A and B are shown apart, each in its own frame.
Chain A
C-alpha cells in the first residue's frame, strides 16, 4: 500500500507536464490539490480493512520495503495537509514557472512520503536527497539575490549533512552488516570507536537538516526569502520531515538505549528551544521571527525524541492509561509535529496575507492591521496562542505531554526549560501582535482590504483545526488507547 504514496505524485507529475504550457499552468493547482486530498484520504484510512482486497493489486512482482505504521500514517496525512495549504496559497510566477514549481512540489512530496515510509538507512538517504534537491530549487525560485544565496547556503549545509550521513551509515554498516532499522537496532551497541564516530556524525547530520542550534544557520534566510507558498512548505513539512522525523525514528527505534545520541538530541533540542525563542524576540521582520520560532518549536520535538531514546522502558500509570515514558515522549513529539504544521502554516499564511496586502513584512512599517484585516488578525492570535502552548488549543496538549514525560523521567531541568520558554514564546508573539495587528492603524493603510478569499479561507480552516484538535484531544487519547498504544 505504501507504494501508492509514491505512485500518485509520480503519475500526477506526468499528467501535469503533458499539456501545453498555458493549459498546464491552469491545471497545476488542481493537480496538486487532488494529490493532496487523495493522500489525506489514503493516509487516514490506511489502517482500515477495506484496503485488504486491493493489496494484491498494489504488490509489484518485486518486494518494495515501504511500511505504513501509525506514526507514518499521521505524518503522511500532515504532509498532504501542508501541500494542500501550499496549493491554496498559490504558486507564483509565469506559466512555465508555475508548471515546473508545481512539479517540484510533487517531487518533494514524493521524497517526503518516501522518507516517512522507509525502514532502511540506505533508502532513507536517497529519499532525503530527493527532498533536499527539490528544496534547493524551490527556495531559489524567487530568483532574487537573497533567495539564491539562501538556497546556496542551504545547499552547502545540507550537502555536508548528507555526506556526514553517508559516512555515518557506512560506519554503522561496517559493524552491523546491514542498514535495516530493525537489524541495526538489534545489533548496535555503540561501544567501538567506529560506531561512536558514526553516531556522532548521525547526530550532526540530522541536526543540520532539522535546523537545530548550532546548525541552524541556513534556516532563517531560507524561510524568509522564499515565496510565501514555499515558506509554508518548508516550515510546515520539509524541514520537519527531512530532519526532525529522522531524529524521532532513529532516536526512538534504531538507536534506542544508547545514551550518547539520545543525550545529545536532548541537549541540542533544549538549546534550540532557548536560542530560537530569544532570537525571535529581536527580529524586525515577520517571516524571520516566524523562522526562529520554528527553530524553537522544532527544539521541543527534538528534545522529546531524545527523551524517547534515553528513557528506560518504564511503564507508568496515569489515571487509567498504561504506557511507557518513551511512548509518551513519542506521542508528544508526533502530536507537536502535527500541531506545528497546523499553527506554523497558519502563521505563514497570515504573513503571506500581510505581504500581499501591505507590500511589506517589516515590523516597524506595520501596525493596527486587525482594523482592516480582521480574519488575518484574529486567526494569527489563535496561531500564536497555540504555539505558546495555551489551552484550549492543540499546542497545549503536545507541550503538556512532553513536559509530563520529562517530569516522569526526572529530567527536571529540561522540563523547566520547556515551560519557561513557552512564556518567552508568548512574549515575542505579544510583541508581534502589538506591532503588526493591534495598536494604531498606520498612515497609508486606510485603504487596506482583507486578504483574498483563498488565504482567508485557509486561515480559518487551519485555526479551526488547531482549536478543534485542542478541544477534542482527550478523544484522541482514547483513540490511541483503542489502538493499544497507550
Chain B
C-alpha cells in the first residue's frame, strides 16, 4: 500500500510542477515549479532506496540533489532579477519567439513591457498572473 501511495504522491507532485511550468506567465513561478519537481525526485529516490535496500546511497543522492537545486534556484533568481532590472517585467514573453514554441502560454503573453507601461507589468510581476 505504501509503495502505491508513494508512486501516487510523486506523480501528482511532478504533475503539479510540470503543469505550472506550462501554464504560468511569470518567470519566478517557473523557478518554484522546478523546485516542486525536484521534491518529486526526492520522493522517487526515497522509494528507490527503500525498494532496493541501498538507503544510504539514495540518501546521499537526495542530499546532493537538494543542495544542487538550491544553487540552481539561486542563479535562476538572480537571472530573474537581472531581467527585471532591464525590462521592468517578469513576463514569459521576455524569452522571445522560440520560447513560445516550447511554452504554450508565452504565445498569448505580452512581450517585454517598456518602463512607461510599468504599472500593469509591476502588478503582474509580484502578483504572478
Q: Are B79's CB and A170's CB within 8 A?
A: no
Size class of the B contact interface (CB-based, 8 Å): 35 or more
B45 on the interface (CB 8 Å rule)? yes
Q: Are A129's CB and B72's CB within 8 A?
A: yes
Q: Are B68's CB and A152's CB within 8 A?
A: no
- Which chain A residue lies CB-closest to B44? A170
Which residues of chain A come closer than 8 Å to B126, judged between CB atoms? none
Q: Are A167's CB and B41's CB within 8 A?
A: yes
Which residues of chain A come closer than 8 Å to B87, judged between CB atoms? 145
Which residues of chain B come closer than 8 Å to A177, judged between CB atoms? 52-54
Which residues of chain A come closer than 8 Å to B83, judged between CB atoms? 145, 148-149, 152
Provide the B24-44 mask, 1 if CB < 8 A to any CB of A, else 0.
Answer: 000100100010011011001
- A177 and B50 CA atoms in complex are apart in Å by 10
Which residues of chain B come closer than 8 Å to A217, judged between CB atoms? 98-99, 101-102
A171 on the interface (CB 8 Å rule)? yes
Size class of the A contact interface (CB-based, 8 Å): 35 or more
Task: Tell me, rounded to whole Å, the shortest Cβ–Cβ distance linking A137 to chain B.
Answer: 7
Stretch at the interface among A153-161, A261-269, A399-407, A473-481: A153-161
Q: Are B52's CB and A126's CB within 8 A?
A: no
- A220 and B98 CA atoms in complex are apart in Å by 10
- A424 and B72 CA atoms in complex are apart in Å by 39
B5 on the interface (CB 8 Å rule)? no
Is chain B's binding surface mostly helix, strand, loop or mixed? helix
- Which chain A residue lies CB-closest to B94? A149
- Which chain B residue lies CB-closest to A143? B82
- A68 and B81 CA atoms in complex are apart in Å by 41
Which residues of chain B come closer than 8 Å to A175, judged between CB atoms? 52
Q: Which one, B21, B38, B54, B68, contacts A173 given CB within 8 A?
A: B54
Which residues of chain B come closer than 8 Å to A169, judged between CB atoms? 61
- A169 and B64 CA atoms in complex are apart in Å by 13
Task: Tell me, rounded to whole Å, the shortest Cβ–Cβ distance linking A60 to chain B.
Answer: 19
Which residues of chain A come closer than 8 Å to B99, judged between CB atoms? 153, 217
Q: Are B68's CB and A126's CB within 8 A?
A: yes
B residues contacting A by CB (< 8 A) are 14, 21, 27, 30, 34, 37-38, 40-41, 44-45, 47-49, 51-54, 57-58, 60-61, 64-65, 68, 71-72, 75-76, 79-80, 82-83, 86-87, 94-96, 98-99, 101-102, 112
